[in-house]
Structure 1
Amino acid sequence: MSPQEMAEKVGENIGTSEWAEMSQERINQFAEATGDKQFIHLDEEKAKMTPFGGTIAHGFLTLSMMPYLTANSDVPRLDGLKMAVNYGGNKTRFIAPVRSGKRIRAHWKLLEMVEKRPGQWQQTSEITMEIEGEDKPAFICEWISLYFV
């Protein structure tokens, strides 16, 4: 799809990812990589005594799953894409914890698609991270990506 065709989809839901499991192993690896070793992520016994009832994924781990979920989604790909980079976020709200062993998937709604200069497009999407079997999403964010075509 061309960037111009993508721009015509502003206001529409543009894709959903496959499900991905937030395993305890993945949570442990994230804790090791980031140094965030708070007990609610790693210690099952202590975590059982919290309102979460067990270990939960780091909010930033859940957020960092976006590139993987994007690659494993039906979000349209831009024709002639040379490079894509994360530009940042306008809003991110962590709404519900992702318990160890739960599955998540992302849903994208296109908010804006603007050509900033020839061959460089800025896309803003609302991403909702669904937790399988839960009423509330893990998070909702407004994410900005730059695409070079």
Structure 2
Amino acid sequence: MSDNQVGLVDFAMFRPGENVGTSEWVTVDQPMISGFGDITLDPDPMHVDPEWAAENSAFGRTIAFGFLTMSLLTHLLHSAMGDSNDREHADVGYFLNYGFDRMRLVSPIPVDSRVRGHFKTLENYTDEKDRQMVKFECHIEIEGEERPALIGEWLAIWINK
């Protein structure tokens, strides 16, 4: 087995410096934002109360939670890669989030905005514990805006069974 292949998963597809892809557009609407507030137990009116936000927020309307923006990364990456999250290689192992080396929430996402993700492989290596690591550059674009919602470096790790 090569250094870039674990079980049936071919890590050679993650070539440093190459674009992974761009996702489809996703609309961030009020039900999504409010649902995120509900499940994270965060009732902040800047996010979940359109009337309050219109009257009191500098943005004039609700905005997505920053952690909601971050949580969209998995969906956006799968979309960019043109695959699903079906765990087809679960018999040999699985990917897990390992964290972030750098993450910035550059601009808030106003309600009813469309976003998409752009991904590039920065690194693909085996760490000191012989685990396969992939580092992605991430950029979440807000349609019609110059500044991105998010930029960061996201780490994934392959866990063998």
> Is the Cα–Cα contact under 8 Å of residues 115 and 121 in structure 1 kept in the other structure?
yes
Q: Partners in 2 of 1:35 and 1:76 — Cα distance?
A: 31
Cα displacement (A) at 1:52: 1.1
TM-score (norm 1): 0.87
- Say whether residues 1:55 and 2:48 are aligned partners: no
Counterpart contact for 1:14–1:75, Cα < 8 Å: no
Q: Equivalent residue for 2:6?
A: none
Q: Does 1:102 align with 2:110?
A: no
Larger radius of gyration: 2
User: Which residue does the alignment assign to 1:12?
Assistant: 18
Any conservation in 2 of the 1:108–1:127 contact (CA below 8 Å)?
Answer: yes
Q: CA RMSD in A?
A: 2.2
TM-score by length of 2: 0.81
**Shift, 1:72, TM fit:** 1.7
- C-alpha separation between the residues in 2 aligned to 1:74 and 1:12? 13
Q: 1:127 aligns with which of 115, 126, 138?
A: 138
Correspondent of 1:29 among 15, 27, 35: 35
Cα deviation for residue 115 of structure 1 reads 2.0
Structure 2: tracts of 5 or more residues without a match = 1-8
Cα displacement string for residues 24-50 of structure 1 (whole angstroms, at most 9, x for unaligned residues):
001111000001111110111221232
